[in-house]
Structure 1
Amino acid sequence: MLASKGIKQIGKTVLVPALLVSVILSGCANGGQNEESQPSASSPSSSQGAAPSAAAPLEIDWMNGAIDIGDHSYLQSYLEQKFNVKLTVHSISQADFVQKQQILLASGDVPDVMFVYDPNQLFKYASQGLLAELPVDTIAQYAPQAKANLDSFAPQAWYYTHYNAKNYGMPFTYYTGQFNAKQGWRTDLLEKAGVERIPETLDEMTEAFEKLKQIGVYGMSTNGNSYYYAFWSIFGAYGVMPTQWMLKDGKVVNGAVQPEAKEALGVLADWYAKGYIDPEFVTGKDLDKKFIEGKFAYHHSLPAHATDDTVPSSIISSIKKANPDGKLEFAPLPKGPDGEQAGWAWGTGGSMIAFGKQMENEPEKVQKVLAIVEALQTDEETYFAGVFGEQGKHWDWVDPANPSTGGVKFLPPYDDPAKAAVEGLKSNSSIFAGDPVAKLYEKALGTKQIERLQIYNKPMWDLFGKPDVLPSSGQYWGDLTKLKTDAYAEIVRGDKPLDYFDQFVEEWNNLGGKQLEQEANDLYAAMNK
């Protein structure tokens, strides 16, 4: 069906289009260099990083991904000492990151290195002349293992940094992007409402929601303020995922404007009118808090450790604190009328870093940054120190006798994510370099957590990895996703009738959706020559 077609295309080895072959393949293996020219394991540009020297440290202005890192954090001190650098670190909260980044760049204060969440933002900055070109050959030379990991694990990620036949950054991999979020039910609430088993279909959900309503509990909530998150498992039951590009009848189309999306909206509007959906779903606020308090029973975006009561910060642990009799179980994604079921997944390509235009004149800094990224992603010692901190102080193994089973845990007080963030520490992924190679990520997770990630996994991800990789995404994508978010919310709430969907489709096409659809088909044709 529609979901499986999109997934199969991602796995093709011919993913890279012809127009990119000369750029991307030039960095394969030895990056077009002779073996002798590759950095050795002990060289300053190797994955081990540069040892401290008598030379003055390089000063690098680095805008990280959103995290509230403190001054003189453990991580900053560690990297400065290991790589002989002096870092100026920007700390911007998640909610304000994109807006503040744009304001900073518009003021002319362009960091040397910056984390960029999505391709459309990078394309925008590149079109404004704010970014330095970063040839793939340069990445292959100074971060060869990280480059090889991208080529094998997430080749589609090269689309994210490619603009006007040039490469403008280094994409990262996203290990858990191959898994959809987990669906969970408060089974104690189902029992209280007289529902004997976890619903598996939309019809069974409707029946359960009616019974839950009788005990004063909403059936579900979601983040209606998100262009991708809102009601994703319900759309997946109809074989579409709004805003993802998908293959349908041999043509690339966007899930947001498909008739199947309209069908899903009809169900949601009916549920809302009957009082089954939390009326505050539009804000997306306090979802976990409301779920823990028993305000709604079905949560379709839970982390893999949500049901693990050995983790103090897990959802079930919080539920038990509020109600010792509380219960939570993972469940399959709901099936639609044709047996479809799927959940939003981002795919294996993640976000990226880009370099300010001024870095074209400072190759030594570029090389140093790539060496730092290479070490954090591929060298075990650097990865564990740069992500989890000092063993015995910041972290330890869940089961020291069996490290591979339980993986890593933060020690108090760093088991509080906010306190870990102050030190620059974050579970599994570096704020400077994103996710590591799979073998290191899996070692940190442990086999138990990997098994949880695989539970009820039916991912649906974009044909190109991310939906905003097209040439005109920077021009249109922001307006289109806002249009979708607003229109869907209005239909679900009943502010607009279901037939308003047809007007929405027309507005989508006129606002740039038709242009992007043509570009999507051109790109798909190029990558399948």
Structure 2
Amino acid sequence: MKKSKKIVFSRVLTTVLSVLLLFTFLVGCTASTQKPQEKETEEEKTVSDDKTEQVVQKEERIKVKFFGERYIPEQKTEIIRMLEDRLNVEFVLMGAYDTEINEKLNVLLLSNDMPDVLYVGNNSEVREKGLARFTEAELKEYMPNYYKTITEVAQKNGGRNISDILKRFEAEDGKLSAFPHVWSGGPYPQGIIWRKDILDQLGKEVPKTIEEWEDVFAAYKKANPDKYPWAGCGKLLWQSFTPILDAVGMQFWHYNVRDGKIVQGYAQPEFKQALATLQKWYKEGYIHPEWPAWDQPTKYNYFYNGNSIVTEWISFSHWDLDEPYLEDTHIDKLTKLNPDAKLVLGPYPRYDENKKPALYVWDPFTGNFSGFGKHLQNDTDKLHRVMKMLDTISYDEETLLLAYFGIEGTHWEWDKETKLPKRLPGAITQEEHNQLGIGYYWTSICYSSLVDKYNAHPRKEAARQKYSLEPGAIYSDDVVYRNINPVFGTIRDADGENIWKQYPDLNKAGEYFTKIICDELPVDAWDEWVEYWNNNGGREIEAAATEQYLNK
């Protein structure tokens, strides 16, 4: 009996040992087949904190309402899906063209449906009531590349401190309510381009005076009775007919410094002569009658199709007019439709030979801004993720190339000579780019120095030097006055409130401007508008602006 118990015990022990050996073998096999730490799955990763390992789950994909400028891409194109995967987000794409931004944002504000991140333009109402507050430290931590870049831009433009500049975007509690929409090319003037081949056909030189402009227009209309030599864009009024407005010697669409005071350009009596000129040209058939309904692309397309003889608001990126033509410039687009076309840059005319034309230019940090929806103030985790997302779109090279240029090999390739991205010839049109979600839409919110880098063709820089920096050049400081807007934020009354709220009826300049040009109001109506401005709050606004931005 005792022997039998020993046998049973021995068999049990053998079985237990066999199970233990098998378990040890299986554990060893499993351990030997694990992936190394740098190749962990996306679901989890191992991190070391004081030599203690812990599992960190991948962040959940978040939905982001993205409100950009100029156009709204289609929601689920291949580009959008690729960006969503890279950024671990799901986009709800929103936006508006320049002149419609305020209206759309005001509707979103009233309906309490603000986007998560948005281009605000200069909408002070949305800035005060619809945006989340955050600190400069958060901007520096969660948008480090953007912060580093704007710090460098501030240093480059007058050796300024970025913290001082960011104070412009502070709310009443001392926190930031927005961040600047930087334009590094802001201080440079816009040019005017003429169809040199048509001027040659008419036997005319490039016009320098207003009288010569009218002479060229008359000759063109006589030769082409069904065409209009010039067109504006009513959906972007501040880019319409600027050479004639600037000829007054003040800037029409923003504030000016005059006799030691800040005054609103579009309420000055001198502009009556410019409006009289434009109305006369409209009645003569020199200005396209449908311009009030046009946007900027429509105006430019009318020029590309060989209809008008001149167009304005031409940045230095388009000033190089030599062959082979640089891709996506005005001369490139024009000659694809009109192979024999030639362009030439023209000077700004003057009404008074003793007054330089006043061109619309910007301090890089003046004017427009972007921000985050107010609801994110109570969800700092999402706020910080959205901030990091913006920084990635604008400063991660692969993400920026995808967002701004599209898919390499499908939409663009590297230029062997310049080492810059180059759109593949005949790939897709600019309108198709917009629909697919390629281009400026993504960087309209957060400035990207990479975009400047990829657009900085040496020929463009050489043209900028030739026409605006060399002494005596047609767009140099010797010849034109670069009128930088002295007002770079909300104008407040003595109680700290937005002073414009007290005078809601003073936003009629655009209406008078359009109706006078189109001969729906007499030119003398401008006197009525100037008087109305001065007697119904305009003087108070100018006095507050002077005290806030000039006397301090």
TM-score clears 0.5: yes
Do the aligned partners of 1:57 and 1:86 also contact (CA within 8 Å) in 2? yes
* 1:441 aligned onto 2:452: yes
Do the aligned partners of 1:245 and 1:467 also contact (CA within 8 Å) in 2? no
* 1:139 aligned onto 2:139: yes
Match of 1:360 in 2: 377
SS at match of 2:342: coil
Do the aligned partners of 2:68 and 2:442 also contact (CA within 8 Å) in 1? no
SS at match of 2:181: strand
Amino acid at match of 2:252: P
Amino acid at match of 1:288: Y
SS at match of 2:118: strand
Q: What is the CA–CA distance in structure 1 between the aligned matches of 2:262 and 2:437, rounded to whole Å?
A: 41
Match of 1:393 in 2: 410
1:227-246 equivalent positions in 2, closer than 5 A:
227-246=237-256
Do the aligned partners of 2:178 and 2:369 also contact (CA within 8 Å) in 1? yes
Q: What is the CA–CA distance in structure 1 between the aligned matches of 2:289 and 2:300, rounded to whole Å?
A: 16
* 1:184 aligned onto 2:193: yes
Alignment length, in residue pairs?
464
**CA separation of 1:175/1:58 partners in 2, compared to 1, >3 Å: closer, same or farther?**
same
SS at match of 1:175: coil
Match of 1:55 in 2: 59
Do the aligned partners of 1:142 and 1:370 also contact (CA within 8 Å) in 2? yes
Amino acid at match of 2:106: Q
Q: What is the CA–CA distance in structure 1 between the aligned matches of 2:339 and 2:83, rounded to whole Å?
A: 44
1:55-94 equivalent positions in 2, closer than 5 A:
55-83=59-87, 85-94=88-97
- C-alpha deviations, 1:409-468, integer Å up to 9, x for none? 2235654223323442205x734743312x651333322233445545457444246576
Match of 2:357 in 1: 341
Match of 1:325 in 2: 340
- Structure 1 residue 396: Cα displacement: 1.9
Which of 412, 421, 434 is residue 421 of structure 1 equivalent to? Answer: 434
Q: Structure 2 regions of 5+ residues with no counterpart?
A: 1-46, 48-55, 155-161, 469-474
Match of 2:126 in 1: 125
**CA separation of 1:157/1:497 partners in 2, compared to 1, >3 Å: closer, same or farther?**
farther
- Structure 1 residue 90: Cα displacement: 2.0
Q: What is the CA–CA distance in structure 2 between the aligned matches of 1:468 and 1:224, rounded to whole Å?
A: 25
Which of 510, 518, 533 is residue 485 of structure 1 equivalent to? Answer: 510
- C-alpha deviations, 1:66-123, integer Å up to 9, x for none? 433233345544444444x32232234527544333333322223322221x22x2x2
**CA separation of 1:278/1:509 partners in 2, compared to 1, >3 Å: closer, same or farther?**
same
Do the aligned partners of 1:160 and 1:171 also contact (CA within 8 Å) in 2? no
Do the aligned partners of 2:257 and 2:486 also contact (CA within 8 Å) in 1? no
Q: TM-score of the superposition, structure 2-length normalised?
A: 0.73
Higher relative contact order (CA 8 A, sep 6+): 1
* 1:223 aligned onto 2:227: no
- Structure 1 residue 230: Cα displacement: 2.7
Q: What is the CA–CA distance in structure 2 between the aligned matches of 1:148 and 1:200, rounded to whole Å?
A: 43
Amino acid at match of 1:441: D
Do the aligned partners of 1:114 and 1:354 also contact (CA within 8 Å) in 2? yes
Question: Does 293-302 or 354-363 show the bigger shift?
Answer: 293-302
Q: What is the CA–CA distance in structure 1 between the aligned matches of 2:337 and 2:64, rounded to whole Å?
A: 46
- Structure 1 residue 476: Cα displacement: 7.0
Amino acid at match of 1:327: K
Q: What is the CA–CA distance in structure 2 between the aligned matches of 1:275 and 1:463, rounded to whole Å?
A: 33
Q: Structure 1 regions of 5+ residues with no counterpart?
A: 1-42, 44-51
Larger radius of gyration: 2
1:448-467 equivalent positions in 2, closer than 5 A:
448-453=459-464, 455-456=467-468, 457=475, 460-464=482-486
Q: What is the CA–CA distance in structure 2 between the aligned matches of 1:136 and 1:503, rounded to whole Å?
A: 46
Match of 1:410 in 2: 423
* 1:167 aligned onto 2:146: no
- Structure 1 residue 242: Cα displacement: 1.1
Q: What is the CA–CA distance in structure 2 between the aligned matches of 1:261 and 1:157, rounded to whole Å?
A: 33
**CA separation of 1:377/1:219 partners in 2, compared to 1, >3 Å: closer, same or farther?**
same
Q: What is the CA–CA distance in structure 2 between the aligned matches of 1:443 and 1:203, rounded to whole Å?
A: 41
* 1:193 aligned onto 2:195: no
SS at match of 1:259: coil
Question: Does 129-138 or 243-252 show the bigger shift?
Answer: 129-138
Q: What is the CA–CA distance in structure 2 between the aligned matches of 1:194 and 1:476, rounded to whole Å?
A: 55
Q: What is the CA–CA distance in structure 2 between the aligned matches of 1:238 and 1:153, rounded to whole Å?
A: 32
Query: Where has structure 1 moved over 6 Å in runs of 4 or more?
Result: none
Q: What is the CA–CA distance in structure 2 between the aligned matches of 1:450 and 1:496, rounded to whole Å?
A: 44
Q: What is the CA–CA distance in structure 1 between the aligned matches of 2:503 and 2:197, rounded to whole Å?
A: 42
**CA separation of 1:479/1:228 partners in 2, compared to 1, >3 Å: closer, same or farther?**
farther
Which of 186, 203, 210 is residue 202 of structure 1 equivalent to? Answer: 210
**CA separation of 1:488/1:144 partners in 2, compared to 1, >3 Å: closer, same or farther?**
same
Do the aligned partners of 2:402 and 2:438 also contact (CA within 8 Å) in 1? no
Which of 514, 524, 527 is residue 549 of structure 2 equivalent to? Answer: 524
**CA separation of 1:225/1:114 partners in 2, compared to 1, >3 Å: closer, same or farther?**
closer
Q: What is the CA–CA distance in structure 2 between the aligned matches of 1:231 and 1:325, rounded to whole Å?
A: 26
Q: What is the CA–CA distance in structure 2 between the aligned matches of 1:465 and 1:376, rounded to whole Å?
A: 30
Do the aligned partners of 1:225 and 1:485 also contact (CA within 8 Å) in 2? no
- C-alpha deviations, 1:276-327, integer Å up to 9, x for none? 3333333336322332344332211345438576457554345445544333
Question: Does 469-478 or 241-250 show the bigger shift?
Answer: 469-478
Amino acid at match of 2:76: H
Q: TM-score of the superposition, structure 1-length normalised?
A: 0.76
**CA separation of 1:177/1:497 partners in 2, compared to 1, >3 Å: closer, same or farther?**
same
Which of 266, 288, 308 is residue 276 of structure 2 equivalent to? Answer: 266
Amino acid at match of 1:445: A
Amino acid at match of 1:504: W
SS at match of 1:180: coil
What root-mean-square deviation, in Å, do the aligned CA atoms of Structure 1 and Structure 2 show?
3.4
Question: Does 228-237 or 306-315 show the bigger shift?
Answer: 306-315
Amino acid at match of 2:318: H
Do the aligned partners of 2:196 and 2:344 also contact (CA within 8 Å) in 1? yes
SS at match of 1:247: strand
Do the aligned partners of 1:63 and 1:113 also contact (CA within 8 Å) in 2? yes
- Structure 1 residue 275: Cα displacement: 4.1
Do the aligned partners of 1:346 and 1:465 also contact (CA within 8 Å) in 2? no
Q: What is the CA–CA distance in structure 1 between the aligned matches of 2:483 and 2:101, rounded to whole Å?
A: 24
Do the aligned partners of 1:79 and 1:386 also contact (CA within 8 Å) in 2? yes
Q: What is the CA–CA distance in structure 1 between the aligned matches of 2:175 and 2:534, rounded to whole Å?
A: 28
Amino acid at match of 1:212: Y
**CA separation of 1:266/1:409 partners in 2, compared to 1, >3 Å: closer, same or farther?**
same
- Structure 1 residue 375: Cα displacement: 3.2
- Structure 1 residue 522: Cα displacement: 1.8
Q: What is the CA–CA distance in structure 2 between the aligned matches of 1:209 and 1:477, rounded to whole Å?
A: 40
